[in-house]
């Protein structure tokens, strides 16, 4: 019989950032206790959890303590050592497992996995040195993107070559370890979809959204995406194929490029709640965080309905002070601030979600505040 985690039990979260914070808030609404492991005292999740273990993510003794004190274990980000997590998770309920986590941690594994499912991905070549890079460029042509196979996020660990290889830019990535060179996909929209699953095999799909990135960091998410019903169904079908193949438990974000001729290319996977799903807190019948918890606790997963079109916009460190100035003026803005102690340029400090009947007009109103001017 499949295990069901009931209210009163403890959810243990590896990682104490904003995703963990919002997960913990949803868990408290559902009647759970929450523990978190994070090296930063008073981290965003630690501020709302019942208790925090202050230790490095790779600290096996600390991870074991988290597992022992928890009735179900989960994670809010990918950069945790899979083998260590496997060892410590044997002492508690960890229905997500590490199969999908291991795939998503390595771009080469991720692309090979997607190819094995017959899903479209950008042409790519694995490589390890400058000579490999020159050969790969000769094969794929320009423009192309060099990416580290591990530890890349928000544009880190990658460089674009448009007409020639800059060996000085490539060298740090190759020094990091194995890399992948990808052909550039000429996309017109960056799309994503969240899907949640439980051990009973149920899947719930969130709406397809459109994402606007600036300097490789998500700036805004528009929901629903301005695409046809046919394309939306195709995106959902891609996500379903992936979720079914890995027997998804919890949430999964699937990021996709849409080309001018209507082709879809799967770009990345994130086996956790995702920045592009934050809108769901206000705009859907269930948030991505509640869906994640229902999934890992094996509660039934309801169909997700969009209650209102919405715009979600990120607040980075450089936007924080100006965003505070809009609090007295913007009665329809839903502010989410993460409580991080230090506001750095490019660091995600919060987000704003605006429910709207006119996405274009709302984007103009956001622009008019000049908070996000480059």
pLDDT-derived band at 129 (thresholds 50, 70, 90) equals very high
Average pLDDT for 265-277: 97
Average pLDDT for 23-46: 98
Owner of token pair 């913007």: 330
CATH 3.30.1360.70 fits domain 123-183:
no
pLDDT at 90: 86
Distances from the Cα of 156 to the Cα of 27, 71, 160, 183, angstroms: 31, 35, 12, 18
Residue 220 pairs in a beta bridge with 212, 313
Residue 1 has pLDDT above 60, yes or no: no
pLDDT-derived band at 176 (thresholds 50, 70, 90) equals confident
Q: Are 136 and 181 in contact (CB under 8 A)?
A: yes
pLDDT at 157: 81
Taking the C-alpha atoms of residue 255 and residue 269, their distance in angstroms, rounded to an integer, is 6
pLDDT-derived band at 289 (thresholds 50, 70, 90) equals very high
CATH 3.40.1350.10 fits domain 189-368:
no
Extract the tokens encoding 102.
């291991």
Average pLDDT for 125-142: 93
Nearest CA to 268 among 279, 257, 280?
257
Distances from the Cα of 271 to the Cα of 65, 174, 300, angstroms: 23, 26, 19
Which pLDDT tens digit goes with each residue over 65-85? 999 999 999 999 888 889 999
**Burial of 43 (C-beta count, 10 Å sphere; 0-12/13-18/19+):** buried
Residue 130 has pLDDT above 60, yes or no: yes
Residue 258 in 3-state DSSP?
Answer: strand
Strand order in the sheet with 144-148: 124-127, 179-183, 144-148, 158-161
pLDDT at 229: 97
Q: Return the higher-pLDDT residue of 163 and 102.
A: 102
Classify domain 10-94 at the CATH class level: alpha beta
* Helix axes of 167-176 and 130-140: crossing angle, nearest 10 degrees: 110
Q: What is the CA radius of gyration of the chain?
A: 20
Mean pLDDT of the chain: 95
Taking the C-alpha atoms of residue 359 and residue 212, their distance in angstroms, rounded to an integer, is 13
Q: Parallel, antiparallel, or unpaired: how do β-strands 144-148 and 179-183 relate? A: antiparallel
Who contacts 337 (Cβ-Cβ below 8 Å, separation ≥6)?
315, 349, 350
Residue 120 has pLDDT above 80, yes or no: yes
pLDDT at 261: 95
Who contacts 324 (Cβ-Cβ below 8 Å, separation ≥6)?
none
Which pLDDT tens digit goes with each residue over 4-15? 999 999 999 999
DSSP 192-213: EEEEEE-TT--EEEPPPEEEEE
Taking the C-alpha atoms of residue 297 and residue 48, their distance in angstroms, rounded to an integer, is 20
H or E, element range at 316: strand 310-316
Which pLDDT tens digit goes with each residue over 185-209? 999 999 999 999 999 999 999 999 9
Q: What are phi and psi of 211, to 5 degrees?
A: -115, 140
Average pLDDT for 96-101: 96
H or E, element range at 311: strand 310-316
User: Where along the chain do its domains lie?
Assistant: 10-94, 123-183, 189-368
pLDDT at 166: 84
97-135 burial code (b ≥16 CB/10 A, e <16) = bbebbbbbbbbbebbebbeeeebebbebbebeeeebbee
Q: Are 11 and 48 in contact (CB under 8 A)?
A: no
Average pLDDT for 247-262: 97
pLDDT at 174: 92
Residue 25 in 3-state DSSP?
Answer: helix
pLDDT at 163: 87
Taking the C-alpha atoms of residue 27 and residue 15, their distance in angstroms, rounded to an integer, is 15
């Amino acid at each position: 019989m499949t295990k069901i985690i009931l209210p009163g039990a403890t959810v243990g979260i590896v990682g104490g950032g904003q995703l963990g914070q919002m997960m913990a808030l949803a868990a408290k609404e559902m009647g759970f206790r929450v523990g978190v492991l994070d090296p930063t005292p008073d981290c965003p999740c630690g501020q709302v959890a019942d208790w925090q273990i202050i230790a490095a993510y790779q600290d096996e003794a600390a991870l074991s303590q988290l597992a022992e004190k928890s009735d179900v274990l989960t994670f809010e980000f990918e950069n945790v050592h899979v083998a260590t997590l496997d060892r410590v998770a044997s002492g508690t309920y960890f229905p997500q497992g590490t199969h999908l986590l291991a795939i998503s941690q390595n771009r080469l594994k991720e692309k090979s996995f997607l190819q094995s499912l017959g899903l479209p991905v950008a042409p790519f070549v694995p490589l390890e040195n400058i000579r490999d890079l020159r050969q790969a460029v000769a094969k794929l042509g320009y423009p192309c993107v060099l990416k580290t196979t591990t530890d890349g996020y928000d544009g880190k660990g990658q460089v674009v070559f448009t007409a020639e290889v800059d060996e000085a830019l490539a060298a740090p990535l190759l020094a990091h370890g194995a890399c992948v060179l990808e052909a550039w996909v000429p996309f017109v929209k960056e799309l994503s979809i969240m899907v949640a699953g439980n051990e009973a095999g149920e899947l719930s799909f969130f709406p397809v959204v459109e994402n606007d990135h600036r300097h490789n960091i998500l700036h805004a998410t528009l929901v629903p995406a301005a695409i046809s019903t046919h394309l939306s169904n195709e995106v959902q079908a891609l996500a379903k194929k992936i979720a079914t193949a890995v027997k998804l438990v919890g949430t999964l974000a699937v990021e996709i490029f849409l080309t001018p001729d209507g082709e879809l290319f799967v770009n990345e996977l994130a086996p956790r709640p995702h920045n592009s799903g934050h809108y769901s807190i206000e705009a859907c019948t269930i948030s991505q965080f509640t869906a994640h918890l229902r999934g890992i606790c094996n509660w039934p997963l309801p169909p997700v309905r969009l209650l209102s079109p919405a715009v979600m916009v990120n607040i980075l460190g450089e936007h924080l002070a100006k965003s505070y100035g809009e609090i007295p003026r913007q009665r329809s803005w839903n502010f989410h601030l993460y409580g991080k102690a230090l506001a750095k340029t490019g660091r995600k400090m919060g987000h704003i979600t605006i429910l709207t009947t006119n996405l274009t007009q709302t984007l103009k109103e956001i622009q008019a505040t000049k908070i996000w001017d480059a």
